[in-house]
A and B are shown apart, each in its own frame.
Chain A
Amino acid sequence: MSETERRTLTDHPLFQMTLCRFLGFIREPEAVFWTFVFPILMAAGLGLAFRQRGPDKPHIGVVTSASSASALVSLKKDTTLVAETYDDSSGAKALRTGKVAVLVESIAGGVHYVYDPARGDAATARLFANRAIQTGGGAVETIATTDSYVSEKGSRYIDFVVPGLLGMNLMGSGIWGLGFAIVTARNQKLLKRYMATPMKRSQYLLSFLLSRLVFLVLEVLTLLLFGHYVFGVPLRGSLLALSAICLVASFSFSALGLLVSSRATTTEGVSGLMNFIMLPMWILSGVFFSSANFPSVVQPFIKALPLTAANDALRANMLEGASVAGVAPQILVLVLWMTVSFGVALKIFRWR
């Protein structure tokens, strides 16, 4: 009947609980979609929308008239700009709608430029157009110039946004993954049922962290491989340092998830709390645009948020090649969040 046999590893409660966490997650199609597919769709969408289209050439509009022919010839010869011809009214419209940055008209004794100086690219376009027309008219540059071009990967929008998406994903799966699972177990009196077994509480909580670890590897790999091979997002730092950052960030968010779910008894209650915590970080922590855009008074607050720390560290590692020591302040912020959240969560956790 009963037996006390030697235990295999797979019979260890920690292994069994981690396995059940894992199975419970992958059998939830929605959760798999939001964790794995959604970030990739997001990266793909943003990458395509903001992809580099080669150097942007200024568009110059030329109002056709008998005297504008020579200016048009000069402009057409210059390959650094695009010249288009318009009549009076369509030219004005093209300028108004931004199809051209500058409108060139011939007037007696010269050319006349029409543009809005407040538009950043308009003044440049005027310089381009003027240089082409002057050169065509016989002007000679007196100083010889040469150019060399650099095209740096790592400065594009996709390079900025992939580390941000990674940070956001670590936060989401840590907080949602733990929060919903724990509150559901409490709500269904499953936690209470476990309390009537010799299960160790610490192992129960640990099993969540461990199952997160398994997913962490999968999540990070899918997004990074996608970003790296499809969009050429650089991975300049050591992969070991990157793994360490992801690990600390993930544990930190998991601890936050534990804290958020430590008291709530309904999933409605905990989702409100999760949104309350995550929404400010989505906006402030530099996922889609740099957090430097916010006024300097709030910068210390923003820097103290775990997602800001995670994103900054990920960017520093991936784009600038920073080592773990190079992102020590961010790691410190994450470790602080982790210890405080975990400590408080353990204290106030409602086991029944």
Chain B
Amino acid sequence: MTEGPALLVRDLRKAYGDILAVDGLNLEVARGECFGLLGPNGAGKTTTIEICEGLLSADSGRVEVLGLDWDKEPQKLKERLGVQLQDTKLAEKLTVAETLRMFRSFYRERKTVDEVIALVELGEKRDARVGNLSGGQKQRLAIACALVGDPEILFLDEPTTGLDPQSRRSLWDLITRFRESGRTIVLTTHYMDEAEKLCDRIAIVDHGKVIAEGRTNELIDSVDLSHLPAPEPRRTSATLEDVFVSLTGRTLRDE
């Protein structure tokens, strides 16, 4: 495998009208790492991740994925990328197997349909129409579509939102195994326990900027519990939730 980071983002900017969705964001994700992007609603996580996936163009800044540039070698990059978007609806009339067979046909290096169906534990639903799957099963199918091209780097945007506890845990296992095979994952999540469990490093994003970044356990250790807003019960050890809240404030974001 080549050297250098799996993902490099330098001074990224993207505005929608006068909303600065991404405002000078920097990231560096090492190969074989599981990296978490955290942040309140509207912080700019999806925008950032979609620029990295080559789906949105940035206003300015530099993005390198697996050492490749979207402008120069898009086709080569897409071949090595696995993507799960926050809000895709797959074609309802097709079955699970038909959907995966089609996605699989796009790639040169790939897994078999049955392999990925087994990975996301959808064996029973192999021949069910996508429209008849539950929300969580659809989510697992979306991840299967991301895996069928046997990617080197996986982008997951809120992969476990809407999953039941069993499905979440089985997806955690899947992500852990993917990481153990030496490949890279970048994911966003609103679940702190998930980030604590899965991510080697995380970045907390707010208003389009990284406001904290580091190894997950080090970030947790850095929180000074005495500074947490009252009436938080005193605890001896902080959690990632404490990190998040102390950094992004307590008020609800509804922009």
Which residues of A pack against B, CB within 8 Å? 1-4, 11-13, 15-17, 19-20, 23-24, 27-28, 185, 188-190, 192-193, 195-199, 352
Interface string of B100-135 (1 = CB under 8 A from A): 011111111111100100000000000001000000
The answer to whether B55 touches A192, judged by C-beta atoms less than 8 angstroms apart, is yes
Interface-located stretch among B73-81, B192-200, B231-239, B240-248: B73-81
The answer to whether B83 touches A198, judged by C-beta atoms less than 8 angstroms apart, is no
Q: How far is the CB of B124 from chain A (nearest CB, A)?
A: 21
Is B206 close to A, CB under 8 A?
no
The answer to whether A189 touches B88, judged by C-beta atoms less than 8 angstroms apart, is yes
Q: A4-B108, A193-B83 are in contact. List 7 more A-B contacts (CB 8 A).
A: A2-B109, A3-B112, A4-B109, A24-B91, A193-B85, A193-B145, A196-B85
Q: Which residues of A contact B85 (CB under 8 A)?
A: 189, 192-193, 196
Q: Which residues of A contact B110 (CB under 8 A)?
A: 2-3
Contact check: which of B81, B98, B105, B150 meets A13 at CB < 8 Å?
B105
Most buried by B among A2, A185, A197, A199: A197
The answer to whether B106 touches A20, judged by C-beta atoms less than 8 angstroms apart, is no
Given A27-B93, A198-B78, A192:B106 Cβ within 8 A: no
Is B136 close to A, CB under 8 A?
no
The answer to whether A190 touches B91, judged by C-beta atoms less than 8 angstroms apart, is yes
Contact check: which of A12, A15, A24, A197 meets B107 at CB < 8 Å?
A197
The answer to whether A193 touches B88, judged by C-beta atoms less than 8 angstroms apart, is yes
Is B90 close to A, CB under 8 A?
yes
The answer to whether B90 touches A190, judged by C-beta atoms less than 8 angstroms apart, is yes
The answer to whether B78 touches A196, judged by C-beta atoms less than 8 angstroms apart, is yes
Q: Which residues of A contact B145 (CB under 8 A)?
A: 193
Most buried by B among A1, A24, A188, A198: A198
Is B212 close to A, CB under 8 A?
no
Q: Which residues of B contact A17 (CB under 8 A)?
A: 102, 105
Q: Which residues of A contact B91 (CB under 8 A)?
A: 20, 24, 185, 190
Q: In whole angstroms, what is the CA distance A197 to B84 when docked?
A: 11
Q: Which residues of B contact A11 (CB under 8 A)?
A: 104-105
Is B40 close to A, CB under 8 A?
no
Given A2-B110, A195-B55, A196-B81, A189:B89 Cβ within 8 A: yes
Contact check: which of A1, A16, A196, A198 meets B102 at CB < 8 Å?
A16
Given A24-B91, A198-B75, A12:B105 Cβ within 8 A: yes
A–B Cβ pairs within 8 angstroms, 19 of them: A1-B111, A2-B111, A19-B98, A20-B94, A28-B93, A189-B87, A189-B88, A190-B89, A190-B90, A196-B55, A196-B81, A196-B83, A196-B85, A197-B83, A198-B79, A198-B107, A198-B108, A198-B149, A352-B55
The answer to whether B53 touches A196, judged by C-beta atoms less than 8 angstroms apart, is yes
Closest to B84 in A: A193
Is B54 close to A, CB under 8 A?
yes
Closest to A188 in B: B89
Q: How far is the CB of B107 from chain A (nearest CB, A)?
A: 6
Q: In whole angstroms, what is the CA distance A192 to B109 when docked?
A: 21
Q: Which residues of B contact A3 (CB under 8 A)?
A: 109-110, 112
Contact check: which of A24, A188, A189 meets B94 at CB < 8 Å?
A24
Given A24-B93, A196-B55, A198-B75, A13:B83 Cβ within 8 A: no
The answer to whether B93 touches A192, judged by C-beta atoms less than 8 angstroms apart, is no
Q: Which residues of B contact A4 (CB under 8 A)?
A: 108-109
The answer to whether B88 touches A16, judged by C-beta atoms less than 8 angstroms apart, is no
Q: Which residues of A contact B112 (CB under 8 A)?
A: 3
Q: How far is the CB of B11 from chain A (nearest CB, A)?
A: 24
The answer to whether A197 touches B94, judged by C-beta atoms less than 8 angstroms apart, is no
Q: In whole angstroms, what is the CA distance A89 to B78 when docked?
A: 88
Q: Which residues of B contact A195 (CB under 8 A)?
A: 54-55
The answer to whether B105 touches A16, judged by C-beta atoms less than 8 angstroms apart, is yes
